[in-house]
């Protein structure tokens, strides 16, 4: 549900940084000979050459899109290089990309509060850094402005042909500018510098938006890709939002956006401006009404959360069409694999970051061949998370069985047997959420880990033995138990504990400051891209196409692995779409209290971690208009906001 937070009266400088064709860049770093060539990353599935999940900008020029299969991509671009996603346990293994994302985060977090929003995007609050720069080293005093800064796109700036760079330089160095514009200019200089550091240290390019709030920064970051940044001065906000379709706004992609269109005839953000706040409140409630009124004016008080570690861990796999799982034994086999991976990631999170997850959730998508109740979805189920692979596997299977019983509307044991009773599971995932700092007393466990190789099977086994029985499942499904032995006395000193914490990818603040002040980059990332290979284009026209192509069309049959935001959406197979429905029998008295979710008990933070389609579904149960779908990344905003500047 959107939350209307007032914007602070003091101007903030917020940036949204989004990696360019991220998985492709990661693969190109591994195989540098692919740099600058049309390349796409495909899901390992061999059907029609696999599903494309990331497409290089060089390939996009030929019309290759994420929605295509490998074979189709080869037709439109015969020279394309298709790289397979790494596979582990029979499914996509995203660790390579996840770790690459962490490298970038550790660099971007050097200058201010940093929120890792997904595997490849972060928000930065650079207000303090910008204020410091403005008071100590304002742009108008700079001897030279970096090329990367001069390549910024400043919305609303006069863009006389041939004078773009001069105009941008003038905008950055105006001594007469308003304080908030000067702050934005400082923020943009800092972001350009950070982007260059990312490029130097990781070889990855990224694009950024710089604005006074998260919403505007996010809208701007996709406007000029790849390897460029866009600044949104306050005076340009109205122009940016005016013709933007309402459904492109964050949280208006779903039911709320639909209602605005059908009930109020609102199609663009400027249409929304005609409605007084009271009217919107009357229709959608006080909070949502105010939120709508605010966002139509570019007002958003959302804060950048200081979080560089994922909010949850999730592993899932799709089983489209004929691959659907029809036996409990098959489900169990896959659940075991998914839980094993989840358990490994939980263990390394505990060792590296001293964090403990508290909630295990199982989500699935399923069909039944005799279903007339097309509304009945496979319910998601949660329980307190117990550490140890075997325990997670056991609990996940119980959650699945309970959910299947609810789904089938029958408690009869034969419906859960191994014979096919007309049900099939087309997607399965497990996630661990409510991740909090490990409670005092886990020091000895951590020390135990430090003396072992975390990934060795013996350490895993021992770890399970240490803690697996410490937190029995709660029959009520309450989320209070951590799964760790909280009675363990704290034996580690604060200094030692801190040392463990620093085992993550973040540098300490002093090191970070030294590193960044030593950095005197004068290179231009875009220049590098243009110079290195012939095919990189940055024309405005292409920018619009690129942005449109970036709208994610989920490939079918893809697996996903999530951190904070689920990366890969589930897609219904044609077989599932065509299922004929039949009445289901009443099974309410057979519901087992132990695993049943009561809607009002659902922890909203858990919902955010689910695959997008399931999020929508769960929110639908909660309240029809409670929260609409978030807008997908890579919005095609350039199609609606006509930039006046040509390159």
Distances (CA, A) of 183 to 46, 119, 136, 172, 563: 51, 28, 12, 10, 32
Judge contact between 555 and 23, C-beta under 8 A.
no
Largest CA distance in the chain: 79
The smaller minimum CB distance to ligand TTP, of residues 107 and 383, is found at 107
* Nearest in space to 435 (alpha carbons), one of 485, 489, 360, 507: 360
> Out of 113, 116, 225, 572, which residue is the one contacting ligand TTP (CB under 6 A)?
225
Question: Which of helix, strand or coil describes residue 199?
Answer: helix
Q: Which residue's entry shows tokens 């979805």?
A: 377
CA dist 517 and 511 (Å) reads: 10
* Nearest in space to 326 (alpha carbons), one of 395, 417, 429, 430: 417
The smaller minimum CB distance to ligand TTP, of residues 60 and 182, is found at 60
Q: Does 471 bind ligand TTP (CB under 6 A)?
A: no
For residue 121, indicate whether it is catalytic.
yes
- Applying CB under 6 A, which part among 18-26, 355-363, 445-453, 587-595 lies near ligand TTP? 18-26
> Out of 11, 17, 19, 479, which residue is the one contacting ligand TTP (CB under 6 A)?
19
Q: Does 217 bind ligand TTP (CB under 6 A)?
A: no
Number of other residues whose CB lies within 10 A of the CB of residue 88: 13
CB of 434 to ligand TTP, least distance (A): 24
The token pair that represents 162 in the structure block? 């041939």
Q: Which of 121, 131, 563, 609 is catalytic?
A: 121
CB of 222 to ligand TTP, least distance (A): 7
Q: Does 61 bind ligand TTP (CB under 6 A)?
A: no
The smaller minimum CB distance to ligand TTP, of residues 56 and 393, is found at 56
Q: Does 254 bind ligand TTP (CB under 6 A)?
A: no
The token pair that represents 582 in the structure block? 């039949």
- Applying CB under 6 A, which part among 168-176, 179-187, 408-416, 564-572 lies near ligand TTP? 564-572
CA dist 172 and 166 (Å) reads: 10
CB of 554 to ligand TTP, least distance (A): 5
CA dist 343 and 409 (Å) reads: 31
Helix or strand run (H / E) with residue 124: strand 121-125
List the Cα angle 54/58/61 in 5-degree steps. Answer: 100
Q: Does 86 bind ligand TTP (CB under 6 A)?
A: no
From the number of C-beta atoms within 10 Å of its C-beta (0-12, 13-18, 19+), residue 411 rates as middle
Size of the site for ligand TTP (CB under 6 A): 20
Question: Which of helix, strand or coil describes residue 364?
Answer: strand
CA dist 249 and 213 (Å) reads: 14
The smaller minimum CB distance to ligand TTP, of residues 345 and 460, is found at 345
How many Cα atoms within 13 Å fall on the side-chain side of residue 521?
23
Chain positions 340 to 379 lying near ligand TTP, rule: CB under 6 A, are none
CB of 487 to ligand TTP, least distance (A): 42
Number of other residues whose CB lies within 10 A of the CB of residue 374: 10
Chain positions 114 to 143 lying near ligand TTP, rule: CB under 6 A, are 119-120
Question: Which of helix, strand or coil describes residue 7?
Answer: coil
The smaller minimum CB distance to ligand TTP, of residues 19 and 185, is found at 19
The token pair that represents 349 in the structure block? 């999170």
> Out of 2, 11, 18, 408, which residue is the one contacting ligand TTP (CB under 6 A)?
18
Q: Does 108 bind ligand TTP (CB under 6 A)?
A: no
CB of 233 to ligand TTP, least distance (A): 24
Q: Does 246 bind ligand TTP (CB under 6 A)?
A: no
CB of 23 to ligand TTP, least distance (A): 4
The smaller minimum CB distance to ligand TTP, of residues 320 and 569, is found at 569
> Out of 20, 58, 349, 609, which residue is the one contacting ligand TTP (CB under 6 A)?
20
Q: Does 53 bind ligand TTP (CB under 6 A)?
A: yes
Q: Does 54 bind ligand TTP (CB under 6 A)?
A: yes
**Binding positions for ligand TTP, rule: CB under 6 A:** 18-23, 53-54, 119-120, 225-226, 550, 552, 554, 567-569, 633-634
- Known catalytic residues are 121
């Amino acid at each position: 549900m959107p939350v209307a937070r007032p914007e602070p009266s003091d101007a903030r400088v917020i940036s949204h940084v989004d990696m360019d064709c991220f998985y492709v860049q990661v693969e190109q770093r591994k195989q540098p000979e692919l740099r600058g060539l049309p390349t796409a990353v495909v899901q390992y599935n061999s059907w029609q050459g696999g599903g494309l999940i990331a497409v290089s900008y060089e390939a996009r020029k030929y019309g290759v899109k994420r929605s295509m299969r490998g074979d189709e991509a080869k037709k439109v671009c015969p020279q394309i290089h298709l790289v397979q996603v790494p596979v582990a346990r029979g499914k996509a293994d995203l660790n390579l990309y996840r770790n690459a994302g962490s490298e970038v985060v550790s660099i971007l977090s050097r200058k201010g509060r940093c929120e890792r929003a997904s595997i490849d995007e972060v928000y930065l609050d650079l207000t303090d850094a910008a204020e410091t720069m403005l008071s100590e080293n304002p742009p108008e005093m700079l001897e030279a402005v970096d090329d990367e800064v001069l390549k910024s796109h400043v919305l609303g700036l006069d863009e006389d042909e041939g004078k773009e760079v001069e105009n941008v330089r003038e905008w950055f160095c105006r001594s007469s500018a308003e304080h908030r514009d000067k702050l934005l200019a400082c923020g943009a200089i800092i972001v350009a510098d950070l982007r260059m550091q990312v490029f130097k240290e990781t070889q990855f390019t990224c694009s950024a938006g710089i604005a006074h709030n998260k919403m505007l920064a996010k809208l701007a970051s996709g406007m000029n890709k790849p390897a460029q940044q866009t600044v949104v001065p306050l005076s340009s906000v109205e122009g940016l939002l005016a013709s933007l379709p309402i459904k492109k706004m964050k949280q208006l992609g779903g039911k709320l956006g639909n209602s605005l269109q059908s009930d109020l005839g609102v199609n663009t953000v400027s249409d929304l401006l005609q409605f007084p706040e009271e009217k919107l409140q009357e229709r959608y409630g006080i909070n949502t009404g105010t939120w709508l009124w605010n966002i139509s004016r570019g007002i958003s008080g959302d804060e950048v959360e200081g979080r560089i570690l994922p909010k949850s861990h999730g592993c899932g796999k799709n089983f489209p069409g004929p691959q659907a799982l029809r036996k409990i034994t098959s489900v169990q086999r896959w659940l075991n694999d998914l839980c094993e991976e989840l358990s490994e990631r939980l263990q390394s999170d505990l060792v590296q970051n001293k964090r403990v997850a508290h909630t295990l959730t199982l989500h699935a998508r399923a069909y039944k061949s005799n279903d007339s109740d097309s509304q009945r979805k496979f319910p998601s189920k949660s329980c307190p998370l117990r550490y140890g692979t075997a325990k997670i596997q056991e609990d996940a299977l119980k959650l699945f069985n309970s959910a299947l019983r609810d789904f089938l509307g029958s408690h009869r044991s034969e419906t859960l047997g191994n014979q096919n009773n007309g049900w099939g599971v087309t997607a399965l995932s497990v996630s661990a959420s409510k991740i909090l700092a490990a409670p005092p007393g886990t020091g000895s466990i951590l020390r135990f880990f430090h003396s072992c190789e975390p990934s060795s099977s013996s350490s895993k086994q021992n770890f399970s033995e240490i803690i697996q029985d410490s937190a029995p499942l709660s029959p009520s499904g309450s989320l209070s138990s951590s799964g760790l032995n909280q009675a363990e006395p704290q034996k580690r000193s604060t200094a030692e504990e801190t040392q463990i914490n620093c085992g993550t990818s973040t540098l300490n603040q002093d090191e970070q400051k030294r590193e960044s002040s030593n950095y005197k980059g004068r290179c231009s990332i875009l220049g590098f891209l243009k110079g290195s290979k012939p095919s990189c284009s940055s024309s405005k026209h292409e920018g619009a196409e690129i942005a449109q192509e970036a709208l994610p069309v989920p490939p079918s049959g893809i697996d996903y692995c999530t951190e904070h935001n689920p990366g890969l959406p589930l897609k219904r197979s044609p077989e599932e779409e065509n299922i004929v429905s039949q009445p289901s029998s009443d099974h309410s008295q057979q519901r087992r209290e132990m695993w049943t979710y009561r809607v009002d008990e659902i922890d909203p933070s858990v919902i955010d971690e689910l695959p997008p389609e399931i999020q929508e579904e769960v929110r639908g149960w909660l309240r029809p208009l409670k929260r609409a779908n978030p807008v997908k990344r890579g919005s095609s905003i350039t199609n609606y906001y006509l930039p006046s500047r040509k390159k």
